[in-house]
Copies of this chain bind each other. A is one copy, B any other.
Amino acid sequence: MRNIGILLSGRGSNFVAIADSIAAGRIPDARIAVVISNKPDAPGIAVACKRSFEALVIASKGKAREDHDREVAASLKQHGVELVCLAGYMRLLSPWFVQQFPRRILNIHPSLLPAFPGLEAQEQAFAYGVKISGCTVHFVDEELDHGAIIVQKAVHVRDDDNERTLAARILEQEHLAYTEAINVVLDGKFEIVGRRMKLRTQNSG
């Protein structure tokens, strides 16, 4: 049984999607070992409690980044977490934290990176007038929205969309993409060449 740890700061819709995927057998042999929020009032924590997951608040307010990260990492390790999934975690991770879980931290971003990094990616894409946006699951490295890409899903922008309808359709794809990416990473049958993540074929070893 592989242990997944979730970090969130808000409602954690991707946390719920991961939990649902595990419950439905779409992520085999895995469980959510702990859900950690850096914000005491994150609605995702209430959901985690209601669903009887181990749920913790490790408040970040007023703490130096690495001090907070050390508390979080200690808790993740104590729960035997081998894969860390960010689900709307609104805090940059320190290089120290990233090194604790090499290629074991995933994030999801609501755009086709490298387009529209940062906050409100869906709104950025809508305002830019792209005809295709989407979402990206990537490994987390020391830079914001930057690590090697695992899965991307495209979403067509419709003429009658507004920011909300577009964000809602992207969110549906996020849930599919995260499940797919978690399976790839837990299976371990991939290689990263430069920045390119590829599935390992039998020939390539």
Instruction: Please give the residue numbers on chain A whose beta carbons come within 8 Å of chain B beta carbons, in ascending order.
Output: 112-116, 126-132, 134, 148-149, 151-154, 159, 194-199, 201
A134 and B131 alpha carbons, distance in the complex (Å): 11
Which residue on chain B has the smallest CB distance to residue A150? B131
Question: Could you tell me if B129 and A154 are in contact, using CB atoms closer than 8 angstroms?
Answer: no
A196: chain B residues within 8 A (beta carbon): 126-127, 129
Find the B residue at minimum CB distance from A132: B152
Using CB atoms, name the residue of chain B closest to A151: B131
> Do B199 and A129 have beta carbons less than 8 Å apart?
no
Q: Cα distance A116–B196 when bound, in Å?
A: 16
5 A-B residue pairs with Cβ-Cβ distance under 8 Å, sorted by A, are A114-B116, A114-B130, A131-B149, A131-B152, A132-B153
The 7 A-B residue pairs whose C-beta atoms are closest, nearest first, are A129-B196, A131-B152, A129-B195, A115-B115, A159-B198, A154-B154, A132-B152
How many copies make up the complex? 2
Residue on B nearest A191 in the bound complex, by CB: B159
Contacts of A113 in B (CB 8 A): 115, 130
- In the assembled complex, the CB of A109 is this many whole angstroms from the nearest CB of chain B, namely 12
Q: Are A195 and B132 in contact (CB under 8 A)?
A: no
Q: Which residue of B has the minimal Cβ distance to A190?
A: B159
Given A112-B112, A114-B115, A115-B114; A130-B152 close (CB under 8 Å): yes
Q: Is the CB of A130 within 8 A of B112?
A: yes
- Contact status of A129 and B148, CB under 8 A, knowing A115-B114, A115-B115, A159-B199: yes
Q: Is B159 a contact partner of A129 (Cβ separation < 8 A)?
A: no
Least CB distance, A4 to chain B, in whole angstroms: 22
CA distance A126 to B112 in the complex (A): 14
